[in-house]
């Protein structure tokens, strides 16, 4: 087995539609990852569907409207929008283009969103910024306590230059996958002894049961976030 590594720059066209960085064709077991942009003063479509969204704001700021109520969003925010909530995003923050990641359960690829102003169940989104986390790397931006049905989000923080993960064990293996995104810097991912270069803008799917270890041989920090299936949240040592 090998990891899936895709950079949004090789797939996304400026002013173009969303692109799926990782999907069912990549044998993603739990969720898919898409990359989208919203230009200044632009608005996304009003839509509602049975599945949830998890969103991470890479750049920019604006407003997400859920069942008619406005919520401010900014760079570094993780957003959990429950299923059956009508939602759309407005780029009115005055900070250029909103760049974001959108995580959907795998089942959503076969689903159909309903477009329009239909009101939903009225649940508010959960919005949490990584700067407000009280603990270190591996902190949950979106966790089981937030009522997520499928996927949790970890903020892995800055991996210092020259550092290696899981040094005591030389890496690790587990039955769930990782779906990571490199926010800053560059480094390497070792899978079954083979190294793969990773850099800012890369989406990385590490399949289940694949021995892996993160390395940062560069001269600058590497920062990433990681989406894991919900059941992994009860296990030990996930990162």
Q: Are residues 68 and 15 in the same domain?
A: yes
Query: Which pair of structure tokens corresponds to residue 94?
Result: 């005055």
* pLDDT recorded at residue 106: 93
Residue 4 has pLDDT above 80, yes or no: yes
Q: Are residues 120 and 158 in the same domain?
A: no
Query: Comparing 124 with 235, which gets the higher pLDDT?
Result: 124
Query: Which pair of structure tokens corresponds to residue 22?
Result: 């990782």
Residue that is last in its domain, among 102, 131, 160: 131
* pLDDT recorded at residue 136: 59
As a whole number, the mean pLDDT across the chain is 94
Residue 237 has pLDDT above 90, yes or no: no
State pTM to two decimals: 0.95
* pLDDT recorded at residue 152: 96
Q: Is residue 239 part of a domain?
A: no
Pick from 140, 110, 93: which is nearest to 50 by CA? 110
pLDDT band at 1 (very low <50, low <70, confident <90, very high): confident
Q: Are residues 32 and 65 in the same domain?
A: yes
* pLDDT recorded at residue 138: 63
- Can you tell me the distance from the alpha carbon of 210 to that of 31, in angstroms, rounded to the nearest whole number? 18
Residue that is last in its domain, among 131, 153, 175: 131
What CATH number has the domain bearing residue 35?
2.60.120.10
pLDDT band at 159 (very low <50, low <70, confident <90, very high): very high
Residue 83's CB is within 10 A of a number of other CB atoms, namely 16
* pLDDT recorded at residue 111: 86
Q: Are residues 218 and 167 in the same domain?
A: yes
- Can you tell me the distance from the alpha carbon of 15 to that of 35, in angstroms, rounded to the nearest whole number? 12
- Can you tell me the distance from the alpha carbon of 69 to that of 129, in angstroms, rounded to the nearest whole number? 19
- Can you tell me the distance from the alpha carbon of 52 to that of 74, in angstroms, rounded to the nearest whole number? 20
Q: Is residue 200 part of a domain?
A: yes
Q: Is residue 191 part of a domain?
A: yes
- Can you tell me the distance from the alpha carbon of 136 to that of 50, in angstroms, rounded to the nearest whole number? 34
Q: Are residues 98 and 209 in the same domain?
A: no
* pLDDT recorded at residue 168: 78
Q: Are residues 43 and 155 in the same domain?
A: no
Give the domain range for residue 151.
Answer: 132-234
Q: Are residues 120 and 202 in the same domain?
A: no
For the chain, how many structural domains are there in total?
A: 2
Q: Is residue 27 part of a domain?
A: yes
Pick from 47, 40, 63: which is nearest to 127 by CA? 63
Q: Is residue 67 part of a domain?
A: yes
* pLDDT recorded at residue 164: 95
Q: Are residues 229 and 123 in the same domain?
A: no
* pLDDT recorded at residue 238: 42
Residue that is last in its domain, among 131, 149, 180: 131
pLDDT band at 36 (very low <50, low <70, confident <90, very high): very high
């Amino acid at each position: 087995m090998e990891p899936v590594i895709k950079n949004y720059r090789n797939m996304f066209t400026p002013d173009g539609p969303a692109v799926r960085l990782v999907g069912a064709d990549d044998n993603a077991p739990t969720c898919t990852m898409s990359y989208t942009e919203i230009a200044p003063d632009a608005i996304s479509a009003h839509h509602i569907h049975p599945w949830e969204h998890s969103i991470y704001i890479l750049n920019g700021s604006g407003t997400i409207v859920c069942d008619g109520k406005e919520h401010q969003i900014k760079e570094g925010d993780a957003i959990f929008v429950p299923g059956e909530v009508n939602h759309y995003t407005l780029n009115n923050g005055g900070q250029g283009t909103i760049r974001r990641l959108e995580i959907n359960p795998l089942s959503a690829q076969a689903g159909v969103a309903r477009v329009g102003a239909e009101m939903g169940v009225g649940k508010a989104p959960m919005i949490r910024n990584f700067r407000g986390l009280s603990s270190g790397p591996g902190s949950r931006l979106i966790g089981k306590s937030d009522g997520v049905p499928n996927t949790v989000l970890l903020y892995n923080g800055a991996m210092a230059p020259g550092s290696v993960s899981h040094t005591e064990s030389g890496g690790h293996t587990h039955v769930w996958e990782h779906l990571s995104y490199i926010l800053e810097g560059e480094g390497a991912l070792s899978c079954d002894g083979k190294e793969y270069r990773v850099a800012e803008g890369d989406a990385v799917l590490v399949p289940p049961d694949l021995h892996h270890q993160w390395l940062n041989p560069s001269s600058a920090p590497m920062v990433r976030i990681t989406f894991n299936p919900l059941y992994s949240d009860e296990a030990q040592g996930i990162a």
